[in-house]
Amino acid sequence: MPPIPTYKNDGIGRLHGRVAVVTGSSSGMGRAIALSLAREGAYVVCSDLWPDASPDGFEEDKHIPTHEVIANNRGISVFHKCDMGRTNEIWALIDFAVEKFSKLDILVNNAGLWLPLRDFVEETDEMWDSMMGINGKGCATSMRQAIKQFLKQPIDVNSGSRGRIVNISSSAGIVAVRREATYAASKAAVSMLTRNVALDHAKDSININAVCPGVVRTAMASTNFRDPKIISEMQKGTPWPRLGQSQDIANLVVFLCSDEAQWITGQNIAVDGGFTIGIPL
């Protein structure tokens, strides 16, 4: 892994002074994304069901909440609880960010629900409702509220944008994956939602893209990463010599939020070690 850059508190970070909301920020990809945005100078509103990292995570400093890690490194961050399955809490999250920092520049929809692998026939209506409610509707609701705020703001002279949204979808939303039917359907919804909403609001100078991770070592997938047989199967399906790390996802999110990505919108970009291009022999 390349070295993680230090926090930029000198005013020259790529995202200096921009306000970002990151959902599902306490562990895994969300934590890596929040820390990476802060390293580039963003003011980060961390959001999750609780501030503490999952005990099943792989972070060395998981005993310290994400927003505290940022503050300890002279960054600016606060935590606000939000259940992405509750519309009123999503509204309150966006309102909180704007009230705290007077604007909103970036929304990263990372929070999501994943359940252990099982055949479709073993899934239930309750699982479907939960997955689609959090991964699908929750994402749509937060996007809508963020866009309402973006439309109140002028186009930033440096970024050329009123605001940026990055949705964390999944490679499972691009190609079929055994025993993940409902999860895959919910992430396919996120990927198509990204394209449609980007099309609606390109005229408003609002960038909306999605990142589609492959097999990434996080707390949510910890049951897989502690099973040697599953690890072996995941490695067989990934052409690159290693499986994914949360920082791999965070690196692309930072780029999509940067000025360099001004003319990129409506894209679903796989960060998957080649998982979606084919199964290696």
By annotation, the residues acting in catalysis are: 183
Query: Which residues, in sequence order, are CB contacts of 137 under 8 Å at separation 6+?
Result: 87
SS3 129: helix
Query: Which residues, in sequence order, are CB contacts of 99 under 8 Å at separation 6+?
Result: none
Torsion of CA 172, 164, 206, 11, to 10 degrees: -150
Cβ atoms 11, 41 nearer than 8 A = yes
SS3 195: helix
Q: What are the CA-CA distances from residue 255 to residues 37, 100, 149, 205, 258 (Å)?
A: 10, 25, 22, 17, 5
Cβ atoms 256, 164 nearer than 8 A = yes
Return d(Cα 157, Cα 23) in angstroms, integer: 27
193-201, long-range: CB < 8 A, 24+ apart: 193/136, 193/139, 193/140, 193/143, 193/167, 194/167, 194/169, 194/266, 194/267, 194/268, 195/266, 195/268, 197/143, 197/147, 197/165, 198/265, 198/266, 198/267, 199/266, 201/147
Return d(Cα 25, Cα 77) in angstroms, integer: 11
Return d(Cα 218, Cα 215) in angstroms, integer: 9
